[in-house]
Amino acid sequence: MSIEIATASLRELGKLDGDRIIIGEIDDKLLNLPSYRDLYDRWERQQWSTQNLDFRVDRQQWSEVPEQSRPIWMSAFVNFLQGEVSVTNTLIPFCAAVPTEEQRFFLTTQLSDEARHSIFFERFFREVLMLDGPDIESLLVQVRSFLDPASSKILVDGLAEVGQRVHSAPKNMDYLVEGITLYHIITEGTLALAAQRDMLKRNKRLGFYPGFQQGFTAVARDESRHVLFGVKFLRDMVQESAGFAVIIRNTIARYMPEIHATLYGSDAQRTVMASLGEDPDDVLNFGLNSLHKKLKVIGITPDFNG
């Protein structure tokens, strides 16, 4: 029996194949994006709880990973933990700055999603990776050394910087367009999307971390709504004024070195991928192609390869 992704339960989501999971992927010929109310309605129908995940098998599997191999696997998990905490904090001023109530209604659901994703990763770090600390900030301090410089420039520095500008001048739509480009299109729609697809496909193929697989698939389904919001918002803004297209292009160009470096991965990551029979360039190619499609739907002709 085929599982319908949009209405699948948490248990059903964990059974899906990797290529079916990334449901937020956008066809560059797509013309009729869902409305902001449609995206809100999807959120109401697609609720899940971190408390319903069972990490016992995951913990046993992690205990069997050799100590010398753990840092390379840890680095991927750390990117997502830091990313979820960063985007939760960054989104708060966006909620006040968007110009319409229906946009605000949706972003409040996204804020709830991002907090839930942070709790999901915190549980995984505590119950599977066996890290300890009084709060999520202490966990981040312990693992931040695993975060590569390119990811850190976007997830730690870039998001905080643009979030502060939006907070300081909530009626400045230039800042908001830059922020949603960095947040929804680069961070979620390119970097996270490509990494989610890679990790979920690998875990499914190898039978790794079934509890994580369930929760992370639910995260990916949530992110599909977020990315669609960002694409729709930016397309609406570009149709309102061509000047916003310049801001989007400039933001992409500003962060392209970090986008490329993050998607390319470290030498150690690429070696592991090759040893598992995977194409080390798959994440890079998929991510840039995904970004290319989203920009076309927004109404911008990309000027990079991908």
Give the pTM.
0.94
84 within some domain: yes
**Per-residue exposure over 283-295, b if at least 16 CB sit within 10 Å of its own CB, e if not:** bbebbbbbbbbbb
Q: Please give the residue range of the domain that contains residue 78.
A: 33-43+52-298
Q: Across the chain, what does the average pLDDT equal?
A: 92
Residue 93 has pLDDT above 70, yes or no: yes
CATH number for 126:
1.10.620.20
303 within some domain: no
pLDDT digits (tens, 9 = 90+) for 60-71: 999 999 999 999
**What residues have CB less than 8 Å from 214, skipping those under 6 apart?**
10, 11, 13, 14, 53
306 within some domain: no
Cα angle value 46/227/95 (rounded, 5°)? 85
25 within some domain: no
73 within some domain: yes
The total of structural domains in the chain comes to 1
What was the pLDDT predicted at 83? 95
pLDDT digits (tens, 9 = 90+) for 183-198: 999 999 999 999 999 9
